[in-house]
Amino acid sequence: QSVLTQPPSASGTPGQRVTISCSGSSSNIGSNYVYWYQQLPGTAPKLLIYRNNQRPSGVPDRFSGSKSGTSASLAISGLRSEDEADYYCAAWDDSLSAVVFGGGTKLTVL
Amino acid sequence: EVQLVESGGGLVQPGGSLRLSCAASGFTFSSYSMNWVRQAPGKGLEWVSYISSSSSTIYYADSVKGRFTISRDNAKNSLYLQMNSLRDEDTAVYYCARGHGDYVLLDYWGQGTLVTVSS
């Protein structure tokens, strides 16, 4: 059981907007930044969003992050077939002194 | 170009030991923290361990504390993970990842090395 809770799956059609939620607690999301990673099939994870809503260079602005209280969300607008991947949220947990990941959300583009 | 190349994975019996290495290139290794993150077959990501640039700060996941040891050699641009008392549940692809400022900001990842613990 992961410390951060994500839905196991999400789906959308091309062009649609989808959101993926990530729920935590006061010791992780509630007091620290949230990060999102994208893992395309058969590849290593890639940093997608850092410090709640910042995009690394090269990440399209179709991807956006937000945080409120002990929850966070990743939004993908203008969905494309190449967005089909696993998405993980992550945060530092002050109680555990550890990085904690969500269980991951498998995004399917229909 | 930043490159991280893991090695040392393989098949090991329960209770055995293995040492993973991660060779870094394309950046000033001694200026960055490093991490190990693993992924069991068909499962999600699990952070394993963090080491600061100077090795002064180290953290471990509870699941590996007391069994795994992270270390680095800045002169050799290398990161290591010594894994002892291995269990079936340690079977996973192990990734090394570069940290950038924040503990959770992992901006470059290697391709991973598979560790299989089985009798």
Confidence at A99, pLDDT banded by 50, 70, 90? very high
Measured distance CA(B62)–CA(B40) in Å, rounded: 16
What per-residue confidence (pLDDT) applies to A55?
98
Cβ within 8 Å, pair B45-A101: yes
Among B residues 10-29, those touching chain A with beta carbons less than 8 Å apart: none
Is the CB of A27 inside 8 Å of chain B's CB atoms? no
User: Looking at this protein, which amino acid is placed at residue A44?
Assistant: A
Q: Which of B6, B8, B16 is nearest to B117 (CA)?
A: B16
Asked whether residue A1 carries a pLDDT value surpassing 90, the answer given is no
pLDDT at B13 over 90: yes
Round to whole Å and give the CA distance between A81 and A12: 10
The pLDDT tens digits for B73-86 are 999 999 999 999 99
Cβ within 8 Å of residue B103, ≥6 positions away: A92, A99, B33, B50, B59
Q: Flag whether pLDDT at A71 surpasses 90.
A: yes
State the CB neighbour count (10 A cutoff) for residue B92: 22
C-beta atoms of B47 and A100 within 8 A = yes
Kindly report, residue by residue over A15-52, the tens digit of the pLDDT: 999 999 999 999 999 999 999 999 999 999 999 999 99
Per-residue pLDDT tens for B24-49?
999 999 999 999 999 999 999 999 99
Quote the pLDDT of residue B42: 96
Question: What average pLDDT is seen over chain B?
Answer: 97
- Taking residues B59-84, what's their average pLDDT? 98
Q: Rounded to an integer, what distance in angstroms lies between the CA atom of residue A6 and that of residue A24?
A: 9
Q: Rounded to an integer, what distance in angstroms lies between the CA atom of residue A56 and that of residue A71? A: 21
